[in-house]
Amino acid sequence: MTRKAGDNPKDLLFEKTTALFAFGVLFLAVLLFAILVAESLPSIRKFGASFLVTKTWDPVAENFGALTFIYGTIVSSFIALLIAVPLAVGSAIFINEFAPEWLKTPVAFLAELLAAIPSVIYGLWGIFVLVPVLRDLLMKPAAKYLGWIPLFKGPVYGPSMLAAGVLLSIMILPFILSVSREVLATVPRLQKEAVLSLGGTHWEMIRIVIGQHCIPGIFGATILGLGRALGETMAVTMVIGNRPDIFLSVFQPGYSMAAVIANEFTEATGELYLAALVEIGLVLFLITFLANLAAKWILKTMVSHAARGI
C-alpha cells in the first residue's frame, strides 16, 4: 500500500523539512561559487583568461597569473595517485583475499588510522623525516646517474614536487584503500567460487572479478583520493618548496593553489592582490568540480559497460 506524503500533516512536515535541508546544501554550493566569482571580479576584469596561462606572480607590481599553481596542484596530485592507487588496490586485495584472519584486522585498522592523522603532523613528518630520506637516498643518486633525463634533473634541494607527491600519496592511501576493500567485498562469493571451480588460479580469479566487477568502484575510490589531494594545503606547503615556477624535473620545487592561498591571504593588502588569491580559489573550485563531473560520467559509462559484460 502506498500512501501519499500529503495524507498526514506530520509526514508532510517531515518531507518539507528534509527538502529544505537538501536545498540548503545546494544553496550553499551556489552561494559559495557566487561569492568566489564576486570577490575575484577585479582580478577577472584586469587579467581575463590570461590569468590561467601566465606564470608571473608578483605582489609588488600587482601582476598575477595562476599557471604555476595550477601546474603544481595537478602534477603533485598526479604523482600521489600514481603511487597511491597501485599500493591501495594491492593492499586491499591482500587484506581481503589472502591475509590470514589474525593479520586482517590490525593491518586494516592501522591503514585506516592514517586517515585520522592531522595534515600538519604529516607536514612536520615530511620536513623532518621524509624530505631528508628522499633527498639523500633517492633524489641525490637519481640526479647523479639519471640526471640526463629531464624528469630527474638536479640540483637537489629536498623540498620538491616529488616530496609533495609522495607525502600526498600516503595521505590519500587510506581513503582509496578502504573504499577499494568495500568494493572487493561486494563481489558475490558465488562468482569467485565459480571461477575457481572452473580451474582458474587465484590470480585469474582476482583478475576476472576485478575486471568485471570492481573497476568502476576502484575508479570512484581514486577520484575520492584525487579530490583530497587537490585540496590538501598544510602538508603540501611544508614540503613542496613554495616556488612559483614550472620545472619539468620532479626534484625541483613547485607551488600549489591551496598552498599559495594559505600562505599569502592573511597578509594580502590591496584589492587586486586579494581578488587574485580568491580567483585561485575559484579555479581550484572549478577544477575539483570538473574532476568530479568527469568521474561521474566515466563511472556511468564504465558501469553500463561492466553490466553488459556480465
Binding site for other proteins (CB under 8 A): 56-61, 127-128, 131-132, 155, 157-159, 237-238, 241-244, 253, 255, 259, 262-270
**Residues constituting the chain:** 310
Q: How far is the CB of 264 from other proteins (least distance, A)?
A: 5
CA distances from 67 to 60, 230, 254, 278 (A): 18, 15, 11, 15
Q: How far is the CB of 238 from other proteins (least distance, A)?
A: 7
Nearer to other proteins, 1 or 60 (CB): 60
DSSP, collapsed to helix, strand or coil, labels residue 286 as helix
CB 10 within 8 A of CB 240: no
- Report phi then psi at 130, rounded to 5: -65, -50
Nearer to other proteins, 174 or 253 (CB): 253
Q: How far is the CB of 252 from other proteins (least distance, A)?
A: 10
Distance CA 304, CA 235 (A): 38
Nearer to other proteins, 268 or 295 (CB): 268
Nearer to other proteins, 175 or 273 (CB): 273
Nearer to other proteins, 158 or 216 (CB): 158
First to last CA, the chain: 35
Q: How far is the CB of 240 from other proteins (least distance, A)?
A: 9
CB 55 within 8 A of CB 67: yes
Nearer to other proteins, 128 or 297 (CB): 128
Distance CA 268, CA 64 (A): 13
Q: How far is the CB of 103 from other proteins (least distance, A)?
A: 36
Helix axes 67-93, 161-185, angle to 10 degrees: 40
Cell of 22: 537538501
Q: How far is the CB of 233 from other proteins (least distance, A)?
A: 10
Cell of 233: 594545503
